Amino acid sequence: MVKVIVGLKGSGKTKNLINAINEAIATESGSMVCIEKGNKLTFDIDYRVRLIEAGEYQMGSVTFLKGFISGLHAGNFDITHVFIDSLYKITGSDDVAETEEFLNWCNEFGKINNMKFTVVISDEPEKMPEGVKKYF
């Protein structure tokens, strides 16, 4: 399952992400991971969620991020939910076609490996193609 939170800067995306993380930790079992650019969520999310700062791994593409997520899962089969804050900043791309392809990959990867994904995108919701909107 993939859930996307989309909006422009200042629209409350981070607050929605924090709420989703803290709700998931209270209702879901398994390990959870949050990938972000920077350290802004350090004091806002539950300590049981593994916070990964993307800059430490020099992520810069969708391909790298897919490989990184695959590696996380290979190292810990107990991961049940991956939260990604600011997809465009992490991947260095705001290409909506590439975003759609990534979300479809997450959906398939999640089905196969019993994982959920919550992804935050800073963009205009109206600009998103139907292939992305289906995850709203």
74-110: per-residue pLDDT in tens?
Answer: 999 999 999 999 999 999 999 999 999 999 999 999 9
* Closest to 46 measured CA to CA, from 67, 20, 66, 78: 20
Among 9, 39, 32, 26, smallest CA distance to 118 is for 32
Query: Residue 72: pLDDT band by 50, 70, 90 thresholds?
Result: very high
Under CATH, what is the fold of the domain 2-133? Rossmann fold (3.40.50)
Taking residues 37-44, report their average pLDDT: 92
List, for residues 109-131, the tens digit of each pLDDT value: 999 999 999 999 999 999 999 99
Q: Which pLDDT score, from 0 to 100, does residue 125 have?
A: 97
- The whole model's pTM is what? 0.96
Query: Among 100, 85, 82, which residue's Cα sits nearest to residue 54?
Result: 85
